[in-house]
Structure 1
């Protein structure tokens, strides 16, 4: 009998141990995000749909109109509920009470930045950032059919296409790359939690071998007033031009500057004193240089247009916009969006007609010897050469990819 009692006692202990293990396994992992322990809340995750408003979202989650009005007034300086954008993600944290009372609304501005809006008893809004780490990388690639394809083959972000295009837009025509062209880069990538890629921080150095000629580019802070870095080559010459080559990312040049062209709308021969860039509707149009807007309006021929004076010598104009983004008298920076592609005025399809004046005379910008950006002064070149030397050596150590 004593043996039987001993066995029974043993079985009870085993059962108790199994139950303890089961209980431990059922405990959910602690989930932290946006500065909250999500386990403490009822969590609603969703995406803003076209036509959604802040009021509608709140109403669907049990917040009445009076409270929405109060929230909007109190947080408008930090978070404007009227400007939420379709496609953005949001999270609502509700209390785990019988009423499931909404406590927080979290709006993801982008992958890094988000806004926390307290919608409970205490109403306030805070802008916050996810922790980001930066990793330095060295890469190389070779062109087979396109730069995008070369990046994809290497498993690289397509954002690097834009980085290289921006760096070399004044020296390399990326529509005319050749099979066998090669590139190497040293750059920094941004990650959330060390794993989620969220963008390119900056490019330190690059070399693009096009038609067997190497084009070097080194990022260097030459303008200490603005804090903006520019790219220079191995001889300290600026890669950036005073003017961008084009006012947008275009699919093709549909009509060039000419003294004689058959007008597709007016059906007659006349001068076309501009360059037409075909692009999709609402493609952003940017100012090709710093300047001041001297006209922003509409005419039956130009449609919606913007005209920018850059200095006493140069003026540019941008026609046929679907809408304008700047007003007369505004100061604009090179690359700033001033409007969007349309087909207003005398136009048969979506494009921007880009016009260029030198000393009051309309000219073909492709035939102009345009000035470069801020150069490195002779007295500072030794400092620049010392700065790029280790970057040059690093680029040389990276092997080129071959077809």
Structure 2
């Protein structure tokens, strides 16, 4: 429109409009420094003449380009078998001097000595082939960062990613085994083993499970930046075995208690070995398979693979660790003044007389030494010197939760039970 209108104007008018437009451009569209300079010389501007503009360039583009180049020069190196920092740096074209400087970057830099095959380290290398930064993620949440300070010295620090913890639930019904039911409920192997450990003092999972038994589990799940990194601890669980309900609540001390505050952990394990089956029960009279005569069988024989670890059934002190032609390699443990447990036919003994042991500690491995027809653990349980059936004897309870913690635990237990019951109702409604 402007061009068409100007065609009909006299030439002097055209020059006037062009001059005014140019002047406004200088005043309002140029940067302030150039506008000021041209205001001072506006009286000498000539129409139709070209003027050069001395515009200073900014460093923004150069800085952005440098950052991009630095990112583009980040290289990732996977740790191979036999690798160390020097070998990886040589592969990256870095000098031994840089290897030394990085290794001296502070206490945290020693984590580079524990790199494992399959781990990765990332290196920022500039255009001169020199190291700028190093990053080593040694866990899902922690990364070792080695960077240069203002003196161009390498320093180390740990960068930690926040973990988001969420609550999830699972339920299962027994058809043939806890393991299969747990896998069907999408529990991890560790969660299934933890579940067995929580209720293992009350339920014999090898012999007492029945079809139709069920469980409910509330557990933590961990996320970083919205990405699942793994399952956390079980927070509460319930197991219904042959119509009897067992409930466990995890407290801040890491132990599990009944809703009333009694410890789920008993003073003794019901079975101190992961066995295949019971080859011989506690009996007043049994025909001995080796001696070929009738005699009392004062313990329980747990058939298991040779070399299977055997655990101490409870805390105590080893009063015998020896070998003889009848018991083979055997270990006896005294538990206070009242209880003694005996473990026979080991392949190897792992403890010595006088040694203090903790419940669950490995004391030997299953074998068939002495008078034994095959690999198994012969386990005896004595109360005041009298042999009792290890599978049916009443096990003493462990200490309840500390009195100082009872009020706080009651609040936690109430909350956990409400969450567990709500999840059960939702799951049942969905099914």
- Same fold by TM-score greater than 0.5: yes
Q: How far 1:262 moved relative to its partner?
A: 1.4
Alpha carbons of 1:132 and 1:273: their partners in 2 closer, same or farther (altered >3 Å)? farther
Q: Distance in 2 between matches of 1:131 and 1:293?
A: 46
In the TM superposition, residue 343 of structure 1 has moved relative to its aligned partner by: 1.5
1:178 counterpart residue number: 210
Pair 1:307 & 2:339 matched: no
For 2:183, the equivalent position in structure 1 comes to: 152
Count how many residue pairs are aligned between Structure 1 and Structure 2.
337
* 2:257 alignment counterpart: 231
Q: Pick closer, same or farther for the CA change 1:255–1:142 going to 2, 3 Å.
A: same
CA drift of 1:142 comes to: 2.2
1:248 and 2:280 matched? no
Q: Normalising by the residue count of structure 2, what TM-score does the alignment of the two structures yield?
A: 0.61
CA distance in structure 1 between the aligned counterparts of 2:172 and 2:311, rounded to whole angstroms: 30
1:253 Cα deviation from its structure 2 partner: 1.1
Contact 2:204 2:270 survives alignment (8 Å): no
Instruction: Indicate conservation of the 8 Å contact 1:219/1:232, yes or no.
Output: no
> How far apart, CA to CA, are the structure 1 residues paired with 2:296 and 2:314?
25
The 3 A distance-change label for structure 1 pair 44 and 380 is closer
200 and 341 in structure 1: CA distance in 2 versus 1, 3 angstrom threshold = farther
Q: Is the 8 A contact 2:339 2:384 kept in 1?
A: yes
Q: What is the aligned partner in structure 1 of residue 31 from structure 2?
A: none
* 1:343 equivalent in structure 2: 368
Higher helix proportion: 2
Q: Describe the superposition over 1:320-348 as per-residue Cα deviations: whole angstroms up to 9, x where unpaired.
A: 11212222222111111111111222212
What does residue range 34-113 of structure 1 map to in structure 2 within 5 Å?
43=77
Q: State the alpha-carbon separation in 1 of the partners of residues 284 and 201 from structure 2.
A: 26
State yes or no: 1:215 paired with 2:240: no
CA shift at 1:195, angstroms?
4.9
Distance change in 2, residues 1:92/1:195 (3 Å): closer
Give the Cα–Cα distance (whole angstroms) in 1 for the partners of residues 203 and 74 of structure 2. 55
SS at match of 1:137: strand
- Structure 2 distance, partners of 1:279, 1:230, is 29
Structure 1 residues 142 and 329, CA gap change in structure 2 (3 angstroms): same
Q: Is the 8 A contact 2:176 2:211 kept in 1?
A: yes
C-alpha separation in 2, matches of 1:367 and 1:294:
25
Q: Is the 8 A contact 1:142 1:401 kept in 2?
A: no
Q: Output the CA distance in 1 between the equivalents of 2:161 and 2:353.
A: 39
Gap runs ≥5 in structure 2: 1-67, 89-109, 126-135, 145-158
Shift of 1:268: 1.8
Query: Hey, what's the Cα distance between the residues in 1 that align with 2:218 and 2:167?
Result: 7
Q: Which residue of 1 aligns with 2:21?
A: none
Distance, in Å, in 2 between the alignment partners of 1:129 and 1:325 is 40
1:370 corresponds to: 395
Provide closer, same or farther for how the CA distance between residues 280 and 401 of structure 1 changes in structure 2, counting only shifts above 3 A.
Answer: farther
Q: Report 1 or 2 for greater relative contact order, CA contacts < 8 Å, sequence distance ≥ 6.
A: 1
Q: State the Cα distance separating 1:197 from its structure 2 match.
A: 5.1
Q: Distance in 1 between matches of 2:160 and 2:271?
A: 35
Instruction: Note if contact 1:159-1:199 (Cα within 8 Å) is conserved in structure 2.
Output: no
1:45–1:300 Cα change, 3 Å: farther
CA-CA distance at 1:374 after TM superposition: 0.5
Residue in structure 1 matched with residue 386 of structure 2 by the alignment: 361
Partner residue of 2:98? Answer: none
Equivalence for 1:393? 418
- The structural deviation recorded for 1:388 is 0.8
Going from structure 1 to structure 2, the CA distance change for 1:397 and 1:43 (only over 3 Å counts) comes to same
Whole-Å Cα distance in 2 between the matches of residues 397 and 177 of structure 1? 26
Distance 1:386 1:91, change over 3 A: closer
C-alpha spacing 1:181/1:360, structure 2 compared with 1 (3 Å): closer
1:264 is matched with 289
Per-residue deviation, 1:257 = 1.7
Deviation readout 1:8-55 (Å, 9 max, x if unpaired): xxxxxxxxxxxxxxxxxxx9xx89xxxxxxx97895656x8xxxxxxx
Alignment correspondent of 2:344: 319
Q: In structure 2, what is the Cα distance between the partners aligned to 1:340 and 1:114?
A: 40
Contact 1:276–1:354 under 8 Å retained in 2: yes
**Greater displacement, 322-331 / 304-313:** 322-331
Q: Structure 1, residues 241-290: CA drift from partner, whole Å, max 9, x if none?
A: 21110101211111112222111122222222111111112221111111
TM-superposed deviation, 1:134: 4.8
